[in-house]
Amino acid sequence: MDSPFGLLAELTYRCPLACSYCSNPLNIAEYSDELGTDEWLRVLAEASELGVLQCHLSGGEPLLRRDLVDIVAGAHDVGLYTNLVTSALGLSRSKGEQLRAAGLDHVQISIQADEPAASDAIAGTPSFHRKIEAMRLVKELGWPLTVNVVLHRYNIERIAAVIGLAEEVGADRVELANTQYYGWAWRNRDALLPSRSQLEAAETVVRAARERLRDRMEVVYVIPDYYSRYPKPCMGGWASRQLTVTPNGDVLPCPAAQSLPLPRASVREDPLERIWTGSPVMTAFRGTGWMPDPCRSCPRREVDFGGCRCQAFQLTGDAARTDPVCHLSPDHDLVVRAVEAANLPARARGVPLIPRPHGVARRARPGS
C-alpha cells in the first residue's frame, strides 16, 4: 500500500453560493458539528506523518472558517503544500495578506461563466465582480492562480470567453471541468448534461487555446465521462493516493463516498494512519481483489481501476459493479440512455434546473 499523496480537507460545507452543479452531500446539516482548530491541526500533522505532500483546503467555502489562517499556518509548519480552493467571496486584501504570511502556496478560484449575468445566475448569488477582484488580488500578492470552471449545458458554449477571462486576469492555469454527477448535480443531471455537438465545439476551442497559450497558461480540460468509452481512473484508484476529511472529521477515499453504505471512520475516534491502513471504508475497494467481471479479467483493470465506485453505486445501487460508463459494463445501457436523451432535438430547449438551497448554519464550536 502506498502513502497518500493528497489530502482534501473539507473545512466546512457552509457556502455563500448555491450552484446547481454542486457535488457536496445533500444532507449537509449532518456535518454541522465541524472539527475545531486543534482537531484540524492534529489531522494535518498526522497527514504529513503519513506521507501527504499536498493539502487542498476546500468546502463549501473555506474562507467562512474564522481560523483559516491558523489552519494554513499549521499545514505550512508541518511541510504541506497548501492550495486554497475557494469561491473567493470573503477574500479581502487583509485576509489575503494574512494567508500569504501564514504560508499559503496556491489559490484556485471558481467562476461560473465569463460575464456577470450568466455567472451569477449559475452561482445563485451575485458574485462575479467580487471573484474577478479576488483573482487580481491573488496575482498581486504573488500566488500562482488556477481559475476553475465547472462546465455544463448552460455554460459550455462560452468556453472561449472563459479562457479569455482567465488569460486577462493572468491565471497560470485554467481548469475546465465538466460536471461530475454527485450530490445536487446528480439531481440536475438531465439538465446539465451537454449535447455531443456542444462537446465537439468545446474540444475544438480547447485544442486551439492549448496551442496558442502553450507558453503562458496551462489549459486543463476534463471531459464528461458519460461520453467516454472507458471510465475515469477515479482518485487514481480507491484509497490509493488521495484521502478526504469531511467537516465533521469523517475520513473517506473520495469526496462522494459518504453516499456509499460503508462503515464510518472518523479522526475523532482513530488516528489517520490507522484509518488509512486498515479501516473498512479504505479497504473496501482497494486494489483489484474486489473486482467482478468484466474488470477482473480486463487488461485495463490497473489503468482505470474499474472506474468510479460512487458512480457505480449511484447508477446501479451496487458499488462493486463495473462503472456503467465503461462500454464493457453490463449496465452501460444506463449511460447510453442518458446520453441519447441529452441529444434529442427537444432537449435543446433545455430542462429546468432545480435550484440548490444555500448552505446551512453549523453548530458553534470555539475556535472555528
Q: Tell me if 256 contacts ligand FES by CB under 6 A.
A: yes
Which of residues 162, 308, 315, 342 is near ligand FES by CB under 6 A? 308
Q: Tell me if 254 contacts ligand FES by CB under 6 A.
A: yes
CA distances from 283 to 1, 9, 71, 89, 280 (A): 10, 20, 29, 38, 5
Q: Tell me if 295 contacts ligand SF4 by CB under 6 A.
A: yes
Pairing of strands 218-222, 145-151: unpaired
Q: Tell me if 282 contacts ligand FES by CB under 6 A.
A: no
CA-only gyration radius of the chain, Å: 20
**In the complex with ligand FES, which residue's Cβ is closer, 28 or 310?**
310
Q: Tell me if 103 contacts ligand SF4 by CB under 6 A.
A: no
Distance of CA 97 to the CA centre of its chain: 26
DSSP conformation letters of 292-344: PTTGGG-TTTTTTTTS-HHHHHHHHS-TTSPPTTSTTSTTTHHHHHHHHHHTS
Q: In which residue are the cell numbers 497548501 written?
A: 82
Q: Tell me if 257 contacts ligand FES by CB under 6 A.
A: yes
- Residue 19 marked ligand-binding: yes
Give the CA diameter of the chain: 56
- CA-to-CA distance for 167 and 103, rounded, in angstroms? 26
Q: Tell me if 319 contacts ligand SF4 by CB under 6 A.
A: no
Q: Tell me if 324 contacts ligand SF4 by CB under 6 A.
A: no
**Smallest separation (angstroms) from ligand FES to the CB of 309:** 4
SS3 291: coil
> Binding string to ligand SF4 for residues 216 to 235, with x set by CB under 6 A, is what?
--------------xx----
**Binding positions:** 15, 19, 22
Interface with ligand FES (CB under 6 A): 234-235, 254, 256-257, 308-310
Which residues belong to the annotated binding site for [4Fe-4S] cluster?
15, 19, 22
Contact footprint for ligand SF4 (CB under 6 A):
230-231, 294-295, 298, 300-301, 304, 306-307, 322-323, 326, 328
